[in-house]
Structure 1
């Protein structure tokens, strides 16, 4: 759900729980075989990526709800990093300059949001 490479596609087999991974880097014969398996079955559902707008919202909420109450200086830096094109890259770069505490806290925060998104998606498709 968080793979940014648009050349990769994932499918969940709703019967077995197996995840099939298709990549444009795969051998063409292998790609065709997997595509046929997916198309020939009602058991597969495509795993959609989490929209970048949602991840941006996670970052903004992290700054406002977690960082700002404890460290206004770090919150200001991170908030500034979120403006304009390249916000995701700037946010990560700025995060690493604010100290290990905030870096680990961000990844824990993001992992929890990701888990919640996956659970909600699974409830929809199963």
Structure 2
């Protein structure tokens, strides 16, 4: 919600003053009904100010970007737990080992695709 409850009180005071000054201009205005109606209008303005403050809070709301507070050691562990795919932590293997594993996997996939293509063409 935008602002504080003091905005509600200021809106009530302002609406009371505006109505009272406008109503007292009438030469036949009675004091007690004029003050009573001004109080009712002040209460209504107080309540409406909650809606106005809520709307302004909604309009001016800007979500904050998430901040990553994880170190590099924690990231691969989190990725292995959340992803269904196989992940290889970079700190455990050298680049040569990773390349060998990847080429073996790629070769296996290509063999299986070729076998499925041959069975479909026959």
TM range (shorter): under 0.3
Q: More helix per residue: 1 or 2?
A: 2
TM-score, normalised by the number of residues in structure 1: 0.26
Q: Of the two, which has the highest radius of gyration?
A: 2
Q: More strand per residue: 1 or 2?
A: 1
> Quick one: higher RCO (CA 8 Å, sep 6+), 1 or 2?
2
